[in-house]
Amino acid sequence: MTQASPLLSVRNLGVSFRMESGEHFQALKGISFDIAANRTVALVGESGSGKSVTSMAIMRLLPENNTEIAAGSEILFEGRNLLQADRRALRALRGRDIAMIFQDPMSSLNPVFTVGDQIIETLMLHTGMRRKAARQRAVALLKEVGLPEPDRKVDAYPHQLSGGQQQRVMIAMAIACEPKLLIADEPTTALDVTIQQQILQLLAALQKKHGMAVLFITHDLGLVGEFADEVIVMRHGEIREHGPLQQVFTQPQDAYTKALLNCRPQLDSRPARLAVIDDFLQDQPYQTPPQRERGYTAGDDIVLDVQGLCKSFESREGLFGKHVFHAVKDVSFQLARGKTLGIVGESGSGKTTVGLTLMRLHQASAGRALFNGQDILAMSPGEFHAYKRRIQIIFQNPYASLNPRFTVEEILLEPMTLHAIGRDHAERKQLAAALLERVGLPRRALQKYPHEFSGGQRQRIAIARCLTMKPDVLICDESVSALDVSVQAQVLNLLQDLQDECGLSYLFISHDLSVVKHISDQVMVMQHGQVVEQANADSLYANPQHSYTRQLLSAIPQGWPQQGGTRVA
C-alpha cells in the first residue's frame, strides 16, 4: 500500500534578503518539512528564527525587490511548485486553497470596511457567490467562530470589536472558502489566557470539522502541547528538531528544544532563577537552581497602601446625554517593601487603569493612595513632582515607549536632568552607562537609537530609564508579554536581581498567570473593575476561592502531558 503524498512539501528552502549595505542576510538555510492533509504542525522558535519568513514564502508574500530564493528550493502544494506559479495562479490559490491568519488582526483588517464586507469580498472573489448569498454565508461563518450576535456584528467595523473578536473575524475570513491548508501566524500572542484558550479550541474544532491541515506558528512551546500533531523547532533559519508532539515534549534531542521547554515559568515550581537559552548550550549539564519562597508576612513594611480607589470615564451619548463607565470600583490593596503584588484579569478588568491612576496619568475619581503615609492622589502637581521619581512604570510596548529620535544616552539622561539627579552631565552619563551594564547592555549602546535593538533589549533600556530615578516602586504593565519566552526569562531574572539588591517593590500587571505565579508574593484578581480575590500567590493558585479565578487558572496552557507534566533537564 503506497503512502499518500503530503499536502505541502517544503524542500531545501533557502531565503536571503539584500540589505541596504549590500550584504545578504540568510533568513532560511535550506529547510525541509512536510505537512500531511488533516494534520496540525507547529512551527516553534524565537524571533528571528525564520518562522514567519517560512509562512510568507509559502504564501509567496515576501517582497520581490530584495528577496532571493536559493536555487533548488521547492514549495510543493499538491505536487505543484508554488515558487514557479504566476500571479494569476497565486491569486486563485490564496484564500481558497491556502489561507492565513496574521498575528495582529487590527492591522490586517481594513478599518474603513465592515467585517461583513471583508468576508463577503473573499466569498464573491473565490466562489462566485452573489452578494446576498455571500452575506448569509458571512453571518453563518461569524456564528461558527463563536462571535456573539453575528447578525449585528456582520455590520460592525473592526474598531468596534475586542481583540479576541477581531481574531475570530480573521479566522472566519480564513475558513470562508474551506481551505486545504490554514497558516496561523502567532494568532494568540496578544490575547488574554481565556481568549487564547478559546481561539485554540476553535482552531482545533474547525480543523477537525473541515479536515484542514494547519501550520501553527508560535514562540511558545506551552501553547502547542494540546493542539499539534507534530512540532518543528527552528533557530537562526535552521530546523533544530522535528518530530511527533509527544516525542519532542518528553524526549527532546536538541539542547535548544530543552532550553525552550525549561525557560517558561511553571505552575508547579518557582526556581530562584529561570533557565535561559545559554544554560543549555554549554558543555556542562544544566543544574536546576533552588526554589524561592514567596508571600507576604505580618511584619512586612508597607510602602504603598491603596484604599477605595475608583476611576470612571465619561463619554457623550447622543446630543445631550453622557455615559459613565466605571473602570475601577473600590479597589484596595497594600504593597510591601521589597515584595511583588501581581494583578491579573482579562482585558477590561481595570488592571492597567489602576497602574495609570497611581501614576496620576489618570485622575482618580475617589480613594486614597498612601505612599509612606502621604496621599499621592490628593497632592497638587507641584507636591507630586517630588514623588514622580519614586514611582515609575515600565510599559508593555518597548517599541512605542522609547523616543525613536533620541539615542539611548539621551533617553536615560532626560529624566535625570529633569529631576536634578547627578551633579553635572558627566556624572549623569557615567550613571547611565553603569545602569546599562546593570541591565545587561554594553556602554557602547549609549550612542545607538532604539531601532537598532531587539524587543528584549529595548525593554532593558526602558527598565534602565526607570532605574535612573532610583524608585521605590516599579509598576510593570504587561512588561514581558510581548517577548519571546527566552528573553522573557532574562528580563524576569533581571527584575528579580534588582528587587533583591535594591529592595524594589513591584506592581506586576499581566494576563500571563504562569509569569505572575513565578514573580509574585501576593496576587490580586480583578474582574469588571473590582477585586474578586486576593491572597498570597501559592495559596491562591493552590486553592482559588472565586469561580472567576478558577476559570482563569483552568485556561492556562498545560503543555504535554496534560496531567503531571514532566520537565526536561
Within 8 A by CB and 6+ apart from 311, the residues are: 326, 327, 328, 350, 353, 354, 357, 362, 364, 365
pLDDT of residue 190: 63
Say if CB 342 and CB 519 are below 8 A apart: yes
Integer Cα distance of 359 and 365 in angstroms: 14
Residue 27 buriedness (CB in 10 A; 0-12 / 13-18 / 19+): buried
With 0-12 / 13-18 / 19 or more C-beta atoms within 10 angstroms meaning exposed / middle / buried, residue 426 is: exposed
pLDDT of residue 107: 77
Q: What is the pLDDT of residue 562?
A: 44
Task: Specify the pLDDT at position 323.
Answer: 78
Return the pLDDT at 566.
Answer: 40
472 dihedral zone (left: phi>0; alpha: psi -120 to 50; beta): alpha
State whether residue 284 is helix, strand or coil. coil
C-alpha 52/C-alpha 266 separation (Å) is: 27
Q: Would you state the pLDDT for residue 560?
A: 55
Q: If 0-12 CB within 10 Å is exposed, 13-18 middle and 19+ buried, where does residue 234 land?
A: buried
Per-residue pLDDT of the chain (569 residues; tens, 9 = 90+): 445 689 999 999 999 998 877 788 899 999 999 999 999 999 998 888 899 899 999 999 998 888 999 999 999 999 999 999 999 999 889 888 999 988 777 778 999 999 999 999 999 988 889 999 999 999 999 988 888 889 999 999 998 887 778 888 988 888 888 899 999 988 876 677 777 788 888 888 888 888 899 999 988 777 788 788 999 999 999 999 999 999 998 899 999 998 888 888 888 889 999 988 888 888 788 888 999 999 999 889 999 999 999 999 887 766 666 778 889 999 999 999 999 999 999 877 899 899 999 999 999 999 999 998 899 999 999 899 888 889 999 887 777 789 999 999 999 999 999 888 888 999 999 999 998 888 888 888 999 998 888 777 888 898 889 888 889 999 998 888 767 788 888 889 989 998 998 899 999 998 888 899 999 999 999 999 999 999 999 999 999 999 999 999 988 876 654 434 444 44
pTM score, two decimals? 0.83
